[in-house]
Amino acid sequence: MPTTLPAPVLTIRNPATGAVVGEVPVTPIDVIPAVVARARIAQAGWAARTLDERAAMLLGAKGALAAAAERMGTLASQEMGKPIKEALGEAKYAASGLEEMVREAVEALREEVLEDANVTTRLVFDPFGVAAAITPWNFPILMPVQNVLPALVAGNAVIFKPSEVSPLCGQAWAECLQSVLPEDVLQVIHGDGKQGAALVGAGVDLVVFTGSRATGMAIMREAAGHLTRLILELGGKDPLLVLEDADLEAAATFAVRNSFRNAGQVCVSTERIFVHESVADRFTQLVVEGATSMKQGDSADESTQIGPMSSARQKSIVMRQLQEAIAAGARCLAGECDGGPASAGNFVRPTVLVDVTPQMSIMRDETFGPVAPIVRVNSDAQAVAMANDTPYGLGAAVFGAPDHAARVAERLTAGMVGINKGCGGADGSPWVGSRHSGHGFHGGKYGTRQFAQVRTISRSR
């Protein structure tokens, strides 16, 4: 008799302890076209509902999300190593912020009317059809919220593929929404890049992706054959500029937090620091003190500030860049620089480098790890030129006297710049990258409208 092979599964291990967290079945590639076909059938009925009806149905998931928040946050912490307090905060926000997020999406997608002396035009925001949402592991609940919810409000059916690193919490989040949605309006598939590529190539109408530049480019190549609409948030190499008139304590506090939060695994982590030579010694001292004072450990410990890297693969990328930089002349002032073995398991200590050069990989390629490379500069012009010397352009920050910092900020090419703060904007601001950090964007009214097809319907007055 032929042997029946067991269905393949993804086995998820805690990066801090190695313990098995759980399993999910891998979606066979050959069933993905059928998943898309079911989504297309379901989407017709979903789009036939009014905007307000879709919103009301989605708001019905608030109770389920609140009830599942503890479990989702714990899973996120166990799957990718995020400190438990941060993971629980992310999960609770998915429930507490649902009403506001849905309301903002409805307002963005509400029909508008334009008039002149001769013509009245209605701006109507229609769904594209079937959207594929492929989300990353570093914010495994927040990114589905931002990439799936507006697509659903707009009337699209969604096929959601969470990262293979953190699929359990993504599945749990999706199940809360599925409990109030019509069948097949939101479906989940699991797997790695092969499943993602198959989904992009299966004739969907919109692809929403957050992840690496290399994967984003591959998605663009595949999507070109179908002229598929894309919203891509890609990598970053975010600079921090510390001017000679900066509040050094505030700048250093930000540098420590933004370089090392989530073990540096944030798309807008500070990955390059340019500090005026007149204040470089004091600033560097403060950053070293901050780096060495942070508590690193098991993400389940509520006092932990930095957990492990999400995987051995991610750690290897960070360690390779560090070792290459030190071999090329960079000096390590804190962290992984004692010449001995690296931290055990998947941990990388918060690391501060000086004497780095623009040619080093750690100054050019996305690191996505807890490393703060510091470069001395002699002028604003040099700082701006070095900050802009990158194919990326996601976020940036400038610390200095407010008017001075504002003038410098306007010369940076990043899509989002913060003055004496991080790059996040006021409520309603889009989350947008320039250059190789983004193609399309999301968030706020203008980002939400990218999940819909705008049509103009005009008549004479």
Task: Read off the pLDDT of each residue in 395-402 and give the average, rounded to a whole number.
Answer: 98
Residue 340 has pLDDT above 70, yes or no: no
Task: Read off the pLDDT of each residue in 366-377 and give the average, rounded to a whole number.
Answer: 97
pLDDT of residue 339: 52
Residue 1 has pLDDT above 70, yes or no: no
Task: Read off the pLDDT of each residue in 409-437 and give the average, rounded to a whole number.
Answer: 95
CA distance 86 to 81: 10
pTM of the model: 0.95
Share of the chain above pLDDT 90, in %: 95
What is 238-427's CATH number? 3.40.309.10
Banded model confidence at residue 344, pLDDT cuts 50, 70, 90: confident
CA distance 306 to 263: 6
Kindly report, residue by residue over 113-147, the tens digit of the pLDDT.
Answer: 999 999 999 999 999 999 999 999 999 999 999 99
Banded model confidence at residue 337, pLDDT cuts 50, 70, 90: confident
Domain spans in the chain, listed from the N-terminal domain onward? 9-234+436-460, 238-427
Question: Given this structure, which CATH class describes domain 9-234+436-460?
Answer: alpha beta
List the catalytic residues: 233, 267
Task: Read off the pLDDT of each residue in 51-77 and give the average, rounded to a whole number.
Answer: 98
**What mean pLDDT is reported for the chain?**
95
